[in-house]
Structure 1
Amino acid sequence: MVDSTRFYTNLRTLKDGWAPLCLIAARKASVVHSTGGHGARSSAPLPLNVGAWQLQQDIEKLVNMMVTAAGLHAHHAMIVPDLIKGLLANPGRLESRTDWPMISALVDKAVLRLARTLDPPPDTKMIGWCPQCGCELRCTPLEIAGGYTACERCGKESKIKEVPRASMARLAVGGVRGTAAEIVRWLNPWGIEVKRNTITQWGKRGRLQPVGAAPDSGAPIYLVWDIWQELNRKKE
């Protein structure tokens, strides 16, 4: 049975967490992580913006879906917190639907992912998303050494080396892009090592086609998927 109180509490959590999530996705904020020992905590920039960006997209789609399902009419200028305020002001509209349990489960999942993004477990590294349920996969050094990990949500076991390709394909659908320096920072925390100069040389040799230029520096902007494809061709 779906807990209505929990559902609306979760909506408030998504509303309150939207602003810090957007800052992390844009690499304008740091997340606080545990340092161990007497509960000490410190603030350090963690390379989470690809995961945060994807979560940002997923939450936005979920909230827009709920607004439509609730029969609410949103103004085009409304952002996620505004839309959630509308849902909170009209309780009961979703609960009468036959897909209410599924909607509630999706919100549960989004809140869990948000918590892991804003306050990631210590000594873990994000490697991508579960190919079965889409939940974020984080691994300890021991799991990475062993080569396998299991999804906390659905239990599916995956080979760690196969997860990044599926995750890159997911990013490709969203058209994630950036300068050579930005892409290096995005890929490094997943254990995908490529040098900024390497990407620059691929571009100069015509092996990569830029999709734009950075407005401040004029540096070429590339699709993350193109970098991933070229990197793997180089390894073959």
Structure 2
Amino acid sequence: MTDCQHCHKPTKQASANMLCANCREDYWTMIYQLGHVQLPTLRSIMLRQAHIGTPAHTPNKGNAPLPIDVHAQDLIEESEAWLAEQAGKIRAAYAGYDWRKAWYAIISNKHTILTMSTAADDYAALEHITRRNEQALTPEDELIILGTCPNCHSMLTGTPDAESVTCQDCHSEWAAPAIKAARDQRLWQVQITGTPSDAAKELKRYGLTISRNLISQWLKRGKLHATPTEHKRQYTFNLGELAALLDCHR
């Protein structure tokens, strides 16, 4: 009995380098999704739905060059490099394949891929790539502000159920629950005295968008425990409470 080298749970595998049954299944699903869904979609974004950059001017009546989504291009290069590396481990000649042929080679050699001595490290690398791809492919209206990067203090966004988040500026990877907890903890320590409009503007500095009308509604309904001041329509707000109510309202 040894421990799985990825999840570290006890497994009956004979080799300490192997993955447990659950991790093998999850790893294989990620490999399949990378070539079947993520890479084709990213390439479509880069080549046909690009939105970063502007078409160059051409003196003739021909079509201007299509702008390239450079972020999608970076993700594609990282994904293709991973596929090439794994294919090359099966047979050296496969390392020179284009991404689709490399993926087919991997899919055709499932047992070899899952039982490689480097499987645990390869799986961890693919998890990182997959998370970045998923974040890029998630519509913006489904993303929320998770907090700020402890390394460069840039804003971190992700899906509500994200387990990890990668900073788009410094590329550091963090556990999403810890980032959100740090954000919420800081907000509970911050108070502001002013109108609902002032509170909304202050929350915006933390990346949280809320309307003054919604804050006023919470005050009228008794949902918000802000302390009235001697000035009309002014209260002392706790930003942590406002953020918590906003999370419930989404």
With the length of structure 1 as denominator, give the TM-score of the two structures. Answer: 0.43
TM-score, structure 2 normalization: 0.41
The structure, 1 or 2, with the larger RCO (C-alpha pairs under 8 Å, 6+ apart) is 1
Bigger radius of gyration: 2
